[in-house]
Structures are given as structure tokens and as C-alpha cells.
Amino acid sequence: MRIRIEALGIDMGIEAVGLGDSGGMGLPKNPAIAAWYKFGPAPASAAGATVIAAHVDSLEYDIGPFSRLASAPAGTEIVLSLADGSERRYSVASVTLTLKPDVPWPTIFDRTGPARLTLVTCGGEFDYTARRYLSNVIVSATPVP
């Protein structure tokens, strides 16, 4: 699978992932590789949120393409290329910066409701002691027929 967002210069491969060590979604170390949460809805699913995330940066690999999500205007086109060669198009509905304790995870990982795409990375302020961002950047996108 690949994700392309031409307006942001994003074109990344996508790996299927599960959980990381701490019970969070487990992302590849390289911010240039996106991750799809394999226990949730797939892009071809008729319902629920397909969650694709990537590191915003890395000590080893520098800043990643998803750092540009924070500035995506509403209406930005997102294209997923699936393993079977088909493509799915989405349009950005909203971009939010939410403090991590306030992120509604059951909504982010919702397996029910309308089919949609949710992109997640980190952003906002950084805790230089704990070496973590305090917020998540969350992009909600709806399918374009």
C-alpha cells in the first residue's frame, strides 16, 4: 500500500502494524514509512476509520513527510494505492492538534460508522526531558466517490 498527498509532497509506502511495546500503535522507526493499524478497518472496509500514522521525526532519520500534515488545508486530496492495484481517494475534512491525554482514542480507532481515513502523527510542544511530543496531529478525511 502507498499513500500519496500531492499537495504536500507526500508519497510513502505503508506497512501493516499492530501494537508497540507500551500498548500504543507500533510505528516503524523511519518517519518516511507510514503504518496502517491492521486490527482496525482496512481501506477497503465498508465501515469504520482506517488509521494510518507515521513518526513526525526521528533522531536517526530526521524530519518525516507527515510533519507537513499540520498545514494541510481542508479539501486536500489523499490517495491510497491498495495492494490489488486499486486506488481510494479521500478529501481532508479537518486537521486538529490535540493534547495526547485528550485524544478520543475510541473515536480514532472506531471500527463502526461511515468509512473514513484518519491520519495521525505527533506535533505541538515537545517535552525535552521525556523526549515526547505533547500532542497528536489528527487529520480526518472522507472518501471521495
Partner 1 sequence: MHTPHSPGFTASLTASLTAASIGVLVIFGGIAPASAATGDAQLSVFHGVPGLTVDVYVNNKLTIDNFKPGDMAGPLDLPAGTYTVAITASDATDASKPAIGPVDLKLEAGMNYTAVAHLGADAKPTATLFTNDTSTIAAGSGRLVVRHVAAAPAVDVLANGAVAISNLSNPKESVLVIPAGTISAVVAATGTTAPVIGPADVKVAEGVDTIVYAWGSLADKNLAVAVQTVSGMNSDPNGIPAGEAGLVATNRPADQTPLWVGGIGVLVLLGLGSATFLGLRRARR
Can residue 59 be called a binding residue for partner 1 (CB under 8 A)? yes
At its nearest, how many Å lie between partner 1 and the CB of residue 4?
19
Please compute, for residue 141, the number of CA atoms within 13 A of its CA located in the half-sphere on the CB side: 28
At its nearest, how many Å lie between partner 1 and the CB of residue 51?
8
At its nearest, how many Å lie between partner 1 and the CB of residue 7?
18
| Residue pair 117/72 in contact by the 8 Å Cβ criterion | no
- Give, in order, the Cα–Cα distances in Å from 100 to each of 52, 67, 138: 17, 17, 11
d(CA 98, CA 34): 20
Residue found under cell 525535552: 128
Can residue 85 be called a binding residue for partner 1 (CB under 8 A)? no
Task: Give whichever of 43 and 123 is closer to partner 1, judged by the CB atom.
Answer: 123
Convert 65-79 into a string of H (helix), E (strand) and C (coil): HHHHHHHCCCCCEEE
d(CA 1, CA 131): 30
At its nearest, how many Å lie between partner 1 and the CB of residue 38?
9
Residue count, binding to partner 1 (CB under 8 A): 43
Can residue 53 be called a binding residue for partner 1 (CB under 8 A)? yes
The window from 8-16, 76-84, 87-95, 124-132 that contacts partner 1 (CB under 8 A) reads 124-132
Can residue 46 be called a binding residue for partner 1 (CB under 8 A)? no
d(CA 66, CA 5): 10
d(CA 141, CA 18): 22
At its nearest, how many Å lie between partner 1 and the CB of residue 110?
9
Which parts of this chain interact with partner 1 (CB under 8 A)? 18-20, 22-25, 27, 37, 39, 51, 53-59, 62-63, 66-67, 70, 100, 103, 105-106, 108-109, 111, 120-126, 128-129, 131-133, 136
